[in-house]
Amino acid sequence: LMKARQKVKRAAAKTSAVRLQRNPRAIPGQRKATIRDVSKLARVSRMTVSRFFSNPDLLLPATHDRVARAVKTLAFVPNRAAGSLSSRRSGFIALILPSLTNSNFAAVAHGLTEAIRPANYQLLIGFTEYKVGEEERQIELMLARRPEAIVVTGEHHSRRCAALLSACGVPVVELSDLPRRPIDMAVGFSNREIGRMAAEHLMSLGYGVIGAVGAGRSDDSVDHRGEERLRGFEEALKSAGRRSDLVVRHGIPPLSYERGAEGLAVLLALEPKVDAVFTVSDLAAVGAMMECRRRDIAVPGGLGVIGFGDFDIAAQMVPPLTTIAVEFENLGRQTGNVLLPLLRGERAHPLSRRIDVGMRLMQRGTTARVAK
Amino acid sequence: LMKARQKVKRAAAKTSAVRLQRNPRAIPGQRKATIRDVSKLARVSRMTVSRFFSNPDLLLPATHDRVARAVKTLAFVPNRAAGSLSSRRSGFIALILPSLTNSNFAAVAHGLTEAIRPANYQLLIGFTEYKVGEEERQIELMLARRPEAIVVTGEHHSRRCAALLSACGVPVVELSDLPRRPIDMAVGFSNREIGRMAAEHLMSLGYGVIGAVGAGRSDDSVDHRGEERLRGFEEALKSAGRRSDLVVRHGIPPLSYERGAEGLAVLLALEPKVDAVFTVSDLAAVGAMMECRRRDIAVPGGLGVIGFGDFDIAAQMVPPLTTIAVEFENLGRQTGNVLLPLLRGERAHPLSRRIDVGMRLMQRGTTARVAK
DNA sequence: GTGAAAGCGCTAACAT
DNA sequence: ATGTTAGCGCTTTCAC
């Protein structure tokens, strides 16, 4: 058997000597050093070099030194694709967001990055731009990289997305929504509750004719989370026996300052007597406030305004914007904290499969008690 | 020889039959289907399955169908780590940004994503939070994934970063700055020129005592680009024989609304007669405007304000904010356009190694001619 | 503490 | 149009 092997090897050696550069369409640039090059230079086995990176304490100081020097002279950077293939651990965590332009989603990314850094995972971020088809595409792209966990935004997924996610075999976290029946885990808050909270806040202050502004939808883009907020808002008004038809859905997501200003204009045209408005996002609220200034409508006297998100600008406005805050960076961090034990192979704690990070009403200057 | 090979194979088969689960520390979840499983089910060779994904037109319709069915029943998703290793093309483009919380950087990411999508590349985003040590760490993490191109922000890199980048063997783009001697390529604009432009704009309108607000620095964080803007600003004032000492560097990057408001306060304490201010970012400018409102300083009458970035909020302010605009999404798109031919193996066009996307003064309401 | 062997799942190159 | 073979660069496993 031994002899047979030798023969095969020699035959192989002959062929491979012929073709030096295997793939001409390979990325250009001088060939990178491999673990093999390092091992030769340091006169150790490849395994020793591997251990140098994964478990340096196992090496004898002298060996460690030789390897370190070789690594340095060759400017060796281990190839994680090869490592992943062999160890069956990619070191990736996939994060799929609607958009990065929203600073709250960016905060999620930052929080998650921070939480997973000590474990040496790398984030693989994708964004959908609120396009419905894009989520599927992104999930497939991600799955091809064999992430060790997948974090998606929201609870609404196409059938195919849901199928891909439930079959993917790694932990899945649904972010920023709390589905009744999560695919796997969920970390978030209730968007519906936020709408309700906004409506109740406005009613409690004595506002009478209350409207809302959110994003519309097109054939290929939706903002499910904003829509949930509007729904909660309508519910609260209805169950209080109030008018709940003053809900403007304007423009395609994401909602911007400008869309907020326009949305308010639409609302005022619909019902000039509106005395308070909830906008699905602070950005729209700020836009609405600017529109008020242009129209000489006093805030909060002429119009009460409440937003969502507690974006940085909210507290800085004059008057400062009343809003509902969610700690998005914390959301990301919590997600990381839920995932880390799972990635270490520990079983999921049943209580941590659905984490509500809650929300907080930040009453500031744009809402105030109305004189009856 | 043939017989020898058979023997080796049989021996190998025997061993591998013994150990079913090779790596117990592998990520949990049922074993994913491999190209081999598909090939068996479809009764074709593995290459045919591979071609099904890379070049489906090559297959006979009947073969194509059989493979498609097998792929579907097994829910097969090709493992890109294995593919990358074999083809020596990772399909990654690395993008290293200071932060995602800045919507202009997010815009870059979006633009770049859009540009590279048709070629089926995937972005690998990392952020440094303006920390100097983080850039090195990020670059090393990225290099381990063998990206086919690396995009970094700015021209200032530590020695080690510069070394890693110049030795990495793939195209490198420096973003949003135009170094005199780029490592490889650069797509951006002159931050210094922006500072100059701001100063000249204010001088041309007749403002007399002109200040600026930027971010400070700590031991481990800097905003080189903002600093460049301040430098250009100082230069312009100096060469016009004006006072150039009213430059406040406040707080650690990134500059926020709040920091802008505080920065203005510092500036006013330093020199109450200031009649115009340039802030290194629109966010700080907005913060400064809010501070003005709190102090009943009229804008632009009492204080002229000019920012940078043309963030969405700029045009929405009342009065709308004068600023200097750079099309950041276009910056990302251009970067993609420069990279794509290189990734296809074409030679770099010498003219496209340094692309200036330029800038535009957006004169709006916060600056106006001063009555002498 | 170190090494040898085998194989992770795919594709380039060549053969038919 | 499809198949065969030999690796890609690493890590697991097990032997010493």
Written in H, E and C, the secondary structure of chain B is CHHHHHHHHHHHHHHHHHCCCCCCCCCCCCCCCCHHHHHHHHCCCHHHHHHHHHCHHHCCHHHHHHHHHHHHHHCCCCCHHHHHHHHCCCCEEEEEECCCCCHHHHHHHHHHHHHHHHHCCEEEEEECCCEHHHHHHHHHHHHHCCCCEEEEECCCCCHHHHHHHHHCCCCEEEECCCCCCCCCEEEECCHHHHHHHHHHHHHHCCCCCEEEEECCCCCCECCHHHHHHHHHHHHHHHHCCCCCCCEEECCCCCCCHHHHHHHHHHHHHHCCCCCEEEECCHHHHHHHHHHHHHHCCCCCCCCEEEEECCCHHHHHCCCCCEEEECCHHHHHHHHHHHHHHHHCCCCCCHHHHEEECCCEEECCCCCCCCCC
pLDDT at A246: 97
The lowest-confidence range among A123-132, B206-215, B304-313 is A123-132
Residue B151, chain A, CB below 8 Å: the answer is no
Chain B residues with CB-CB distance to A294 below 8 A: 318
CA A292-A296-A297 angle, to 5 degrees, is: 55
Q: Show the tokens assigned to A55.
A: 């478990």
Cis geometry, peptide bond prior to residue A179 (ω within 30 degrees of 0): no
Most confident of A215-224, B155-164, B329-338: B329-338
Residue with tokens 């496209």: B352
Quick check: A353 CB within 7 A of strand C? no
Residues 47-106 of B with CB under 7 A from strand C: 47, 49-50, 53-54, 76, 78-79, 82-83, 85-87
Q: Which residue has the tokens 């204080």?
A: B303
CB of A341 within 8 Å of a chain B CB? The answer is no
Q: Which of A355-359, B80-84, B127-131, B205-209 has the lowest mean pLDDT?
A: B127-131
* Sheet containing B149-153: order of strands: B122-127, B92-97, B149-153, B172-175, B185-188, B354-356
- Residue pair A57/A110 in contact (Cβ under 8 Å)? The answer is no
- Average pLDDT, stretch B210-230? 94
CB burial readout A224-235, b (16+ within 10 A) else e: bbbbbbbbbbbe
Query: For B282, which residue in chain A has the nearest alpha carbon?
Result: A313
pLDDT band at B372 (very low <50, low <70, confident <90, very high): low
Query: Residue B157: pLDDT band by 50, 70, 90 thresholds?
Result: confident
For residue A135, what is the enclosing H or E element?
A: helix A132-144
- Contact between B85 and A103 using a beta-carbon 8 Å cutoff: no
Site of tokens 């506002």: A207
Phi, psi for residue A221 in degrees, rounded to 5: -140, 140
Does residue B19 or residue A181 have the better pLDDT?
A: A181
Measured N-to-C along each axis, helices A224-239 and A191-204 cross at an angle, to the nearest 10 degrees, of: 40
A346 touching B, CB under 8 A? no
pLDDT at B364 over 60: yes
B170, amino acid identity: V
User: Nearest-CA distance from B291 to chain A in Å?
Assistant: 9
Mind listing the pLDDT tens digit of every residue in chain A (372 residues)? 333 434 343 343 333 333 334 455 555 556 789 999 999 999 999 999 999 999 999 999 999 999 999 999 999 999 999 999 999 999 999 999 999 999 999 999 999 999 999 999 999 999 998 888 899 999 999 999 999 999 999 887 888 899 999 999 999 999 988 988 899 999 999 999 999 999 999 999 999 999 999 999 988 888 999 999 999 999 999 999 999 999 999 999 999 999 999 999 999 999 999 999 999 999 999 999 999 999 999 999 999 999 999 999 999 999 999 999 999 999 999 999 999 999 988 877 777 789 999 999 999 999 999 975
> Does the CB of B12 have a partner CB in chain A at under 8 Å?
no
Q: How far is B367 from chain A (nearest CA, A)?
A: 18
Q: Is the CB of A58 under 7 A from strand C?
A: yes
Residues B306 and B367: beta-carbon distance below 8 Å? yes
Contacts 24+ apart (CB under 8 A), B171-180: B171/B339, B171/B342, B171/B343, B171/B348, B173/B149, B173/B335, B173/B338, B173/B339, B175/B108, B175/B151, B175/B331, B175/B335, B176/B108, B176/B225, B176/B326, B176/B328, B176/B331, B177/B153, B177/B224, B177/B225, B177/B228, B178/B354, B178/B356, B179/B155
Q: Is the pLDDT of residue B76 over 90?
A: yes
Mean pLDDT of the region B270-277? 97
**Residue B26 reports pLDDT greater than 50:** yes
**What is the per-residue pLDDT for A16?**
36
Between residues A139 and B350, which one has the greater pLDDT? A139
Query: What percentage of chain B exceeds 70 in pLDDT?
Result: 92
Q: Is the pLDDT assigned to residue B10 strictly greater than 60? A: no
Q: Give residue A17's pLDDT.
A: 33
Q: What is the mean pLDDT of residues B14-20?
A: 35
Cβ atoms within 10 Å of B311's Cβ, excluding its own: 23
Band of pLDDT at residue B6, cut at 50, 70 and 90: very low
CA/C1' separation B264–D8 (Å): 58
Q: What angle do CA B105, B213, B107 make, to 5 degrees?
A: 10
**Percentage of chain B lying above the pLDDT 90 cut:** 80
| Mean pLDDT score, B221-236 | 95
CA distance B282 to B290: 12
* Residues B69 and B98 sit within 8 Å (Cβ to Cβ): no
